[in-house]
Structure 1
Amino acid sequence: MNVPAGDIAALYQAEVRRLRAFVRRIVGSHVAAEDLVQQAFTNLLRMGASDAQVNPGYVTQAAHRLALNHLRDARRRAEVELTGVELEQIADSRPTPETIVMYRRELQRLLEAIAALPERRRQAFVLKRIEGLSYEEIAERMGTSRNTVISQVVAAMAQLDAVLGPA
């Protein structure tokens, strides 16, 4: 026996907010939840629901199954399958041995340039740029003023820039 569309519409009006919240908790998306709840009611209308099917429990189960199907389909779409491509042809994102050697040389040059700074300038630079202390903390630790620390760090950076060249 078919149920009039008016009964399904009344059920929709009574249950739509609760079902959206229920489905949204499952799929994690308000938009998807709205679409899935509408789909559940559209399916009821299409199949000519019987009296037994036009009740909150049946529609909740239908929406639940649609939500689970949605999650399963989303997982399938997320899986990327490489067909026709050999794994050996895919670029490796790790640095090459040449790049590693180049980075090590640059680091060595930087460390040597820092070591060549005058002691107070080097100390201020290391505390600021490597250890991340504030100018006030450095001034307190070095027993000098904040402005002196700032000028030492700026001078160290200028000296390093002159030795190492522009980046």
Structure 2
Amino acid sequence: MKGETRRLEIWRAHRARLIDSVVPLVGDRGTAEDVVQDAWLRFNRMEDVDDRPIQRQPVGYLYRIVRNLAIDLMRRRTIERSISPADSPIVEHVADPRPSPEREAIDRSELDRVKEQLATLPKRTRIAFEMYNFGGYTLQHIADHLSISVGMTHLLIKQAVACCMEAIADGDD
């Protein structure tokens, strides 16, 4: 009982410094507190035997336990991160990121209708729309290329988008 009381006093006296010493290893204070708590459980379970390090240098022994637990934790985290997701049984329950065949067919049909609608637009409107949406050009650059104002460029693109939306909506009927 006397040894347990002494170990408790040592642990209480050094607890804050133990936590501070482990934070750089584990990365955050909450995890450091957990490591120090686990160290206390191990430290308190030690038997009082005269030739053990706990009797000769109990403070150093407590710091060693804390350090070893922190290193073990970091090794475990490294191993867990290195396991590929394909090795995990959870992967079997993840939804397939590819769209369903039905969704692909619907999307392909909508795209065909949009292409048909774009083909019916006046050349200048189609060029403005394609430059803006597919080429990533600015309104000013498109306006300069077509020799029109920025406002007119915006209007042409807006008209093209409206036609595309109409083609998609017509297919939903």
Normalising by the residue count of structure 1, what TM-score does the alignment of the two structures yield?
Answer: 0.70
Q: CA deviation at 1:123?
A: 0.8
Q: Could you tell me whether the CA contact under 8 Å between 1:125 and 1:152 is conserved in 2?
A: yes
Matches within 5 A, 1:44-83: 44-47=43-46, 50-52=54-56, 54-56=58-60, 58-67=61-70, 68-69=72-73, 72=76, 75=80, 81=89
Equivalent residues, number = 156
5+ residue gaps, structure 1, are none
Cross-structure match for 1:34: 33
Q: Deviations over 1:59-83 (max 9, x none)?
A: 34423443425864894xx98547x
Amino acid paired to 1:10: A
Following the alignment from structure 1 to structure 2, what is the Cα–Cα distance between the partners of residues 163 and 8? 74
Contact 1:121 1:156 (8 Å CA) reproduced: yes
Question: Take 1:146 and 1:133, find their aligned partners in 2: how far apart are those partners?
Answer: 12
- Give the drift of 1:149: 0.3
Q: 1:37 to 1:98 in 2, by over 3 A?
A: same
- Summarize deviations over 1:137-166 as a string: whole Å, max 9, x none: 221222221101011111112222333326
Aligned mates of 2:26, 2:94 — CA distance in 1? 40
Correspondence for 2:160: 156
Judging changes above 3 Å, is the alpha-carbon distance between structure 1 residues 107 and 53 closer, same or farther for their aligned structure 2 residues? farther
What is the match of residue 134 of structure 1?
138
Gaps in structure 2 of 5+ consecutive residues: 49-53
Q: Check 1:70–1:53 CA distance in 2 against 1; reply closer, same or farther (3 A cut).
A: farther
The two structures have a TM-score, normalised by structure 2, of 0.68
Q: Percent identity, aligned pairs only?
A: 25
Give the corresponding residue for 2:11.
8
